[in-house]
Amino acid sequence: MPGGIGWTGRWGIRPVVERVDGGYRVNLGRIERQVLVQSFGNLRVLLANKDPATRRLFPTAYVDQPELEAEFRGLVGDDLVRSQLEALDLVERTIDGSTVDRDELEAWMRAINSVRLVIGTRLDIGEEAFEVEPDDPDLPLYAVYDFLSSLLAVIVDVLAHDAG
């Protein structure tokens, strides 16, 4: 659907990601923006502490060659983290509904996917479908994961539609 999937708000359905003059606008409510900002803050802390939950953000380049892997990490590790932080910064600067270009919307996609991957790692979510019990203490984290997955799907859909 051009313009993205809509979410119902007080005044009706508004596309979450819409094509506007000069690019795109991501339309999030106050709570959705707060969830993203808090999630990004959590990811910043995990990145700064080199938390193992971030391992899926930086896959191993040399699986069977630890010396080459260490050399690779020494050469590009800081750049990889910096790239993650720059994407988070961009989303935080434009989260108010500012118009973004295609590259910036792709940064939104990367930032959201990074948080989603870290949460998925923490919850041990794989490729298979999963069910969550209502009394699961991680239920709020699963809800954030679901929200991020939906938002990511909308962004991917809009970018794919505009590419073709």
- For residue 46, give the nearest of 80, 95, 81, 83 by alpha carbon: 81
Residue extents of the structural domains in the chain: 29-163
Give per-residue pLDDT as tens, 121-137.
999 988 777 788 899 99
Task: Decide if pLDDT at 157 tops 80.
Answer: yes
Residue 112's contacts (CB-CB under 8 Å, 6 or more residues apart) are: 36, 91, 148, 151, 152, 155
At 144 the pLDDT is: 96
pLDDT band at residue 13 under the 50/70/90 scheme: low
Q: How many Cα atoms occupy the beta-carbon half-sphere of 163 within 13 Å?
A: 9
Indicate the pTM of the whole model. Answer: 0.85
Strand spans (E) along the chain: 6-9, 12-15, 17-20, 23-26, 99-100
Are the C-beta atoms of residues 16 and 7 closer than 8 Å to each other?
A: yes
Are the C-beta atoms of residues 158 and 101 closer than 8 Å to each other?
A: no
Query: Which percentage of the chain shows pLDDT scores above 70?
Result: 91
Of 73-77, 83-87, 152-156, the poorest mean pLDDT is in 73-77
For the four alpha carbons of 129, 117, 73 and 46, in that order, the dihedral sign comes to: negative
Give per-residue pLDDT as tens, 55-80.
899 888 888 988 988 888 888 888 99
At 164 the pLDDT is: 61
Q: How many Cα atoms occupy the beta-carbon half-sphere of 1 within 13 Å?
A: 11
